[in-house]
Amino acid sequence: MLRTEFSKEDVARELDPDSKRVVELWNSQSPRPIQEVPLDEARNSGLLTADITGPSRPLTAIADVTVPASDGFNIPIRIYRPTLDPTPVIVYAHGGGWTLLSIDSCDVFLREMALEVGCAVVSVGYRLAPENPYPTPFNDCWDVLMWVKAGNLGFVPEKIAVSGDSAGGNLAAALSIKSRDMGDGLINFQLLLYPACGTDLDTPSMQELGPDPRFRLSKGAMSYFWSNYLGGDSDSSDPYAVPHAATSYTSVAPTLVVIAGFDPLKDDGKRYAEKLAKDGVDTELLVATTLPHGFVFTLGAVPEARRVVGIIFEKLRTALNLSAPQTLGT
Q: Is residue 330 part of a domain?
A: no
Residue 327 predicted with pLDDT over 50: no
Q: Which residues pair with 67 in a beta bridge?
A: 75
> Is 324 within a domain?
no
Q: Is residue 138 situated within a structural domain?
A: yes
pLDDT for residue 8: 82
Q: Quick check: is 329 in a domain? A: no
Q: Is residue 285 part of a domain?
A: yes
- Cβ atoms of 299 and 273 within 8 Å: the answer is no
Structural domain that includes position 202: 3-319
Note the pLDDT tens digit of each residue in 135-157.
999 999 999 999 999 999 999 99
Kindly report the CATH number assigned to the domain that includes residue 105: 3.40.50.1820
Q: Which of 105, 163, 166, 179 is catalytic?
A: 166
% of the chain exceeding 90 in pLDDT: 92
Query: Of 69, 112, 67, 110, which Cα lies nearest the Cα of 92?
Result: 110
What phi and psi values does residue 116 have, to the nearest 5 degrees? Answer: -80, -25
More confidently predicted of 44 and 93: 93
Specify whether 236 is catalytic. no
Tell me whether residue 235 is in a domain: yes
Decide if 166 is catalytic.
yes
pLDDT value for 328:
44
Of 16, 263, 267, 268, which residue is the catalytic one?
A: 263
Q: Is residue 327 part of a domain?
A: no
Q: What integer best gives the mean pLDDT of the chain?
A: 95
Give residue 11's pLDDT.
53
Q: What is the per-residue pLDDT across 214-260, written as a single tens digit (0 to 9) for each?
A: 999 999 999 999 999 999 766 689 999 999 999 999 999 999 999 99
CA-closest candidate to residue 109, choices 302, 304, 299, 328? 299
In this structure, is residue 121 part of a structural domain?
yes
pLDDT computed for residue 329 by the predictor:
42
**How far is it, in rounded angstroms, from Cα 39 to Cα 96?**
12
pTM over 0.75: yes
- The pLDDT of residue 1 is above 90: no
Residue 304 amino acid letter: E
Active site residue 104: no
Name the residue among 278, 290, 268, 156 with its Cα closest to residue 222: 268
Q: Provide the number of structural domains found in the chain.
A: 1
